[in-house]
């Protein structure tokens, strides 16, 4: 568990700002509490934005370097000439083939057709593969297979020279091999024999611009009427036009790095003893930059940047990163100590600890993304989402301490923003309050009102104290309101997912299980009506008892509904489901009766698994009897045995385990008391009190609460008080319709009916 906590702390530290040396924790528009005097001379560093702007301007002054390759133009013209020659050859072969076909049709020389066909189609196949031209393209249709009517006057002898001239003219204008958008400078530099010739970017062409000019030239020469001819000619130009200005990226990069290195990182100097800012003065961007520069200079002077120090890509400065880990660990230790003392089950369960860690990491990730990278308001961080999620998944105490710890960590992460910490704590407390006891799903959305109003009040007050402008207040309110509106919906959306992944049963799930239309409860009410009534009564008692001691009342009530579901398989063997004149146990041996009675626990576990009840509810089934004995049949076995030593006590004892939570302990008490009170001949207040006292004392003596966190004070509160209306006593009074006891009423121990079997 310690290693898991360390992993959480280290992960959070990775999301903290890297290499930040801050002496003053003021932000822009904060009001200074005292004047600040420069302790030594230091340069005023430019802000990141200013430095980036200056470096960009420096880059714009560096021309991009290119090399003119004259061989490209000559090579492409040479290839174009060969292409034209091949076109003429194909056209000749095509005409010869056509003549052969006409001769064959007149039934003259048919053998020449095969030869001419082979020559033509073989040469055409080679032509396609050599020039990467699609089959059945317009180039073949117009220049090879086309008729003279599809060509301009003069035929191909007019077109091809025009294409050569167009390509030659374009090469004389120079064609770049990179887009102009990649060139920051207004000029390019041509390197030729060690000399550099500077040319405006507007005077050279990109390949796309060259194609556009070629199309315009074709339209001017041949008009717009012959669309196919223009398209075929344009395809030829596109195929043979290549850039002749080759980028020298290594030279350009080198010159750019030199230009960036020459840009000064400072924009002035603050002298020793010069006043940087007066007391009660608003921090402007200029003053803030001076304070930042002073912090960095002080860090430099205390040798934080010695040669043995390294700047790692993910960790930044190792010494600062180590300090961040220790700092976060100190804050996180508050929460860990609380869990260790008051919620040890969360510490001992790796899944729950991982869930807490994920919650903290997601929040710090949002802080790093929103505040550091996107530079938007810190109130975009969904702290209330974490608060409500921890409340619903755990409880309000864990949520309150956890959110307080989280707010301190986030405040440190974004630069010690005290107002953010105070406002987030206040609003998170309201959010926790709104969902602390979920009894209906609409409560999740009612929290929206609490969050939005809480943010509105706290932000207006805290920002007014620092004299923030209206625009700044409205900006924070916008993000806070958006946060408050989205947080409840996101909470509602992720709760079900987290329940499934981490095996947690929330109040939302318990509300669903408390519905009497649940298939298992409907089965119990139909097959074992008496047991169902018993379970509902125990649920009412357990809820009142849990409320009194601050336990989970909803869990206690729902656990009570399902604790006896195993009786549904053989309901007639339990007294609450039996007729008054017949008892099936009368014909059974005590051992067999005990087996049937005890077996309802195993059957209950089987049904719980079959109906996929959560573990939190399943725990009530084996623990509501703990390791107690089935006293009635044990005593009956002793009476019938010739030798009492032959009676094996373990045959009459429930397998357990004993109750391990306050809620399961409460159900054990309430279940036993309800069953005994139902058998009272005279259910008076004093008799019921004696039953409560005697049953609690009996379970204590048996050691059934040894593993349960219930205290003696809790047991006293569970019994309750009629005047205060607390505990189970007022509930039992209402169930049995008790009257006021008159003087002389019998004060002895309560008498119970002589039942043939226990209710359990």
Rounded CA separation 717/749 (Å)? 22
Average pLDDT, the chain: 85
pLDDT in tens, 677-690: 888 877 788 889 99
- The segment with the largest mean pLDDT, out of 119-133, 175-189, 267-281, 397-411, is 397-411
**Residue 190's beta-bridge partner residues?**
66, 197
pLDDT bucket at 605, cuts 50 / 70 / 90: very high
Which of 94-108, 281-295, 700-714, 738-752 has maximum average pLDDT? Answer: 700-714
- Identify the pLDDT of residue 744: 45
Q: Write down the pLDDT at residue 745.
A: 43
The answer to whether residue 536 scores a pLDDT higher than 90 is yes
- Tokens standing for residue 190: 């041509």
The DSSP secondary-structure symbol of 440 reads S
The one-character DSSP state at 31 is: B
Tokens of 651: 């045959």
Q: How far apart (Å, rounded) are the C-alpha atoms in residues 736 and 673?
A: 13
Q: Domains in the chain, please, with CATH?
A: 65-252 (no CATH), 326-504 (1.10.1760), 510-736 (1.10.3210)
* 3-state SS, one letter per residue, for 237-264: HHHHCCCCEEECHHHHHHHHHHHHHHCC
Q: Contact 655/599 with Cβ under 8 angstroms?
A: no
Model confidence at 715: pLDDT above 70: yes
Does 376 score more than 60 pLDDT? yes
Is residue 153 scored above 70 in pLDDT?
Answer: no
For residue 633, give both structure tokens.
Answer: 């049949």
Residues 452-503 have pLDDT tens digits of 999 999 999 998 887 778 888 999 999 999 999 999 889 888 988 888 888 8
CA 153 to chain centre: 72
> What is the C-alpha to C-alpha distance for residues 604 and 618, in angstroms, rounded to an integer?
8
Provide the pLDDT for residue 147: 56
- pLDDT mean over 255-272: 90
Give the pLDDT confidence of 337-374 residue by residue, as tens digits.
Answer: 999 888 887 888 888 889 999 999 999 999 999 988 88
233-263 burial, b for 16+ CB within 10 Å, e for fewer?
Answer: bbbbbebbbbbbbebbeebbeebbeebeeeb
pLDDT at position 750 is: 53
- Report the alpha-carbon distance of residue 230 to residue 301 in Å, rounded: 73
Q: Grade residue 111 by pLDDT with cuts at 50, 70 and 90.
A: low
- Three-state secondary-structure class, residue 547: helix
From the list 177, 173, 168, the residue with the least C-alpha distance to 208 is 177
**CB 228 within 8 Å of CB 146:** no
CA 269 to chain centre: 46
Share of the chain above pLDDT 70, in %: 90
pTM: 0.63
What is the per-residue pLDDT for 108?
53
Residues 425-445 have a mean pLDDT of 84
- Residue 298 pLDDT greater than 70, yes or no: yes
Alpha carbons 289 and 278: distance in angstroms, whole number: 15
Rg (CA), the chain: 44
Can you name the residues that pair with 196 across neighbouring β-strands? 191
Q: Is the pLDDT of residue 107 over 70?
A: no
126 — pLDDT class (breaks 50, 70, 90): confident
pLDDT digits (tens, 9 = 90+) for 629-678: 998 898 888 888 878 777 888 889 999 899 999 999 999 999 999 988 88
pLDDT, tens digit, 9 for 90 and up, residues 310-346: 566 777 777 788 889 999 999 999 999 999 888 887 8
Q: Which of 157-161, 236-240, 702-706, 722-726 has the lowest mean pLDDT?
A: 157-161
In which band, very low, low, confident or very high, does the pLDDT at 737 lie, cut at 50, 70 and 90?
Answer: low
Q: Is the pLDDT higher at 724 or at 715?
A: 715
């Amino acid at each position: 568990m310690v290693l898991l906590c360390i992993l959480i702390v280290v992960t959070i530290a990775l999301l903290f700002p890297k290499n930040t040396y801050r002496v003053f924790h003021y932000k822009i528009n904060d009001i200074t509490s005292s004047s600040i005097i420069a302790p030594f001379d230091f340069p005023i560093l430019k802000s990141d934005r200013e430095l980036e702007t200056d470096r960009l301007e420096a880059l714009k002054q560096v021309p991009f370097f290119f090399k003119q390759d004259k061989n490209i133009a000559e090579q492409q013209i040479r290839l174009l000439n060969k292409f034209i020659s091949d076109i003429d050859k194909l056209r000749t072969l095509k005409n010869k083939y056509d003549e052969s076909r006409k001769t064959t049709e007149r039934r003259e020389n048919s053998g020449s057709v095969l030869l001419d066909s082979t020559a033509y189609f073989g040469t055409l196949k080679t032509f396609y593969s050599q020039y990467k031209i699609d089959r059945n393209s317009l180039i073949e249709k117009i220049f090879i297979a086309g008729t003279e009517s599809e060509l301009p006057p003069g035929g191909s002898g007019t077109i091809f020279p025009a294409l050569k001239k167009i390509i030659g003219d374009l090469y004389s204008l120079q064609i770049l091999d990179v887009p102009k958008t990649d060139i920051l400078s207004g000029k390019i530099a041509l390197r030729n024999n060690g000399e550099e010739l500077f040319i405006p970017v507007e005077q050279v062409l990109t390949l796309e611009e060259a194609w556009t000019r070629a199309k315009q030239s074709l339209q001017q020469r041949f008009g717009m009427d012959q669309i196919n001819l223009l398209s075929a000619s344009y395809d030829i130009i596109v195929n043979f036009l290549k850039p002749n200005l080759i980028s020298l990226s290594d030279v350009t990069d080198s010159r750019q790095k030199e230009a960036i290195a020459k840009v000064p990182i400072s924009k002035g100097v603050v002298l020793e003893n010069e006043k940087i800012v007066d007391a009660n003065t608003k921090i402007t961007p200029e003053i803030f930059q001076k304070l930042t520069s002073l912090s960095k200079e002080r860090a430099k002077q205390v040798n934080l940047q010695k040669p043995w120090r390294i700047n790692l890509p993910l960790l930044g400065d190792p010494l600062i990163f180590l300090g961040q880990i220790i700092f976060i660990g100190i804050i996180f230790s508050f929460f860990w100590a609380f869990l260790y003392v008051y919620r040890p089950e969360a510490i001992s369960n790796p899944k729950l600890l991982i869930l807490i860690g994920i919650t903290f990491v997601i929040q710090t990730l949002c802080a790093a993304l929103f505040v550091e990278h996107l530079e938007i308001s810190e109130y975009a961080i969904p702290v209330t989402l974490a608060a409500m999620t921890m409340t619903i998944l755990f409880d309000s105490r864990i949520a309150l301490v956890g959110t307080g710890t989280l707010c301190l960590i986030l405040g440190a992460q974004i630069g010690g923003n005290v107002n953010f910490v105070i406002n987030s704590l206040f609003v998170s407390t309201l959010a926790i309050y709104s969902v602390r006891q979920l009894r209906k799903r609409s409560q999740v959305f009612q929290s929206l009102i609490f969050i939005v109003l809480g943010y509105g009040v706290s932000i207006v007050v805290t920002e007014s104290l620092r004299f923030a402008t209206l625009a700044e207040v409205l900006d924070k309110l916008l993000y806070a309101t958006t946060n408050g509106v989205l947080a409840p919906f996101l909470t509602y959306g992720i709760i079900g997912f987290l329940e499934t992944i981490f095996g947690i049963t929330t109040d939302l799930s318990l509300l669903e299980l408390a519905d009497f239309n649940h298939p298992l409860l409907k089965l119990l009410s139909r097959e074992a009506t008496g047991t169902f009534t018993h379970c509902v009564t125990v649920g009412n008692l357990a809820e009142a008892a849990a409320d009194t001691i601050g336990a989970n009342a909803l869990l206690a009530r729902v656990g009570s509904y399902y604790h006896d579901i195993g009786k549904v398989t053989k309901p007639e063997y339990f007294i609450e489901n039996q007729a008054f004149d017949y008892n099936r146990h009368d014909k059974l041996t005590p051992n067999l009766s005990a087996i049937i009675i005890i077996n309802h626990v195993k059957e209950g576990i089987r049904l719980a698994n079959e109906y996929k009840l959560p573990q939190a509810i399943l725990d009530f089934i084996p623990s509501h009897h703990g390791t107690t004995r089935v006293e009635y049949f044990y005593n009956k076995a002793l009476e019938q045995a010739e030798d009492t030593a032959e009676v094996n006590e373990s045959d009459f004892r429930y397998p357990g385990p004993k109750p391990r939570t306050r809620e399961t302990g409460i159900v054990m008490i309430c279940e036993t008391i309800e069953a005994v009170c139902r058998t009272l001949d005279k259910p008076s207040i004093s008799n019921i009190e004696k039953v409560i006292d005697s049953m609690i004392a009996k379970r204590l003596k048996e050691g059934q609460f040894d593993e349960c966190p219930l205290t003696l004070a809790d047991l006293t509160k569970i019994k309750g008080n009629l005047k205060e209306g607390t505990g189970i006593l007022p509930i039992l009074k209402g169930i049995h319709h008790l009257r006021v006891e008159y003087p002389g009423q019998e004060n002895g121990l309560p008498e119970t009916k002589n039942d043939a079997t226990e209710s359990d």
